[in-house]
Amino acid sequence: MKRFSSIKKNRDFQKVYDSGKSYANKRLVMYVAENGLNETRIGISVSKKVGNSVVRHRMTRLIREVFRLNKKNIRSGLDIITVVRVAAKESDYKQLEGAFLHLCGLHNIKLESK
């Protein structure tokens, strides 16, 4: 199984925070910036306020899975940082997917489905 590339370095996160545009809803905050590459990369940030390491890692896995399953519907050449809010702690997969796709729509990065 081929893994998709993700944002890991602090300087890459800072570049997106500084130059990207952000939108938020109750569960997530999303920053998006052009990366000049052929692929879309994702970075996930979950604060200790959200919960202990088990909860934070679960949120990370859920967001990564939402991105993996919806990657074909998202424009390429972007860096996306998703910040998980405390309200997302009680959310299930469908609610997080809805929040993620809502923010993709606000950023106009969703491809039109045919």
Q: What is the pLDDT of residue 2?
A: 63
Mean pLDDT, range 40-59, rounded to an integer: 95
**In-domain check, residue 114:** no
**In-domain check, residue 1:** no
**In-domain check, residue 41:** yes
Query: Whole-prediction pTM value?
Result: 0.91
Spell out the SS3 assignment of 54-85.
HHHHHHHHHHHHHHHHHHHHECCCEEEEEEEC
- State the total domains in the chain: 1
Alpha carbon distance 29, 45 (integer Å):
10
pLDDT digits (tens, 9 = 90+) for 52-83: 999 999 999 999 999 999 999 999 999 999 99
**In-domain check, residue 5:** no
Q: Which domain holds residue 43?
A: 10-106
**In-domain check, residue 111:** no
**In-domain check, residue 113:** no
- Which CATH number does the domain housing residue 68 bear? 3.30.230.10
Q: How far is CA 42 from the centre of its chain?
A: 6
Give helix 53-70 / helix 93-106 axis angle, nearest 10°. 60
**In-domain check, residue 2:** no
**In-domain check, residue 112:** no
Mean pLDDT, range 12-35, rounded to an integer: 94
Alpha carbon distance 18, 2 (integer Å):
30
113 pLDDT band (50/70/90 cuts)?
low
Alpha carbon distance 35, 16 (integer Å):
9
Is the confidence at residue 36, as pLDDT, over 90?
no
Percent of the chain with pLDDT strictly greater than 70: 96
